[in-house]
Amino acid sequence: MNGNTDRSIVNPNVNCLQGKRCPECGSFGPLEITVSMRLLLYDNGTDNAEDGATEYGEDTPVTCCACQHEGTFGEFDD
Residue number with CB closer to Zn ion (55 or 58): 58
Q: Which is nearer to Zn ion, 55 or 77 (CB)?
A: 77
Residues 49-78 that bind Zn ion (CB under 5 A): 64, 66-67, 69
- Give the three-class secondary structure for 59: coil
What lies within 8 Å, CB to CB, of 63 at 6+ separation is 31, 32, 33, 69, 70
Interface segment toward Zn ion; rule CB under 5 A; list 5-13, 19-27, 36-44, 52-60: 19-27
Q: Which is nearer to Zn ion, 17 or 67 (CB)?
A: 67
- Tell me how far apart the alpha carbons of residues 35 and 22 are, in angstroms, rounded to a whole number: 18
26 to 45: interface string for Zn ion, x by CB under 5 A: -x------------------
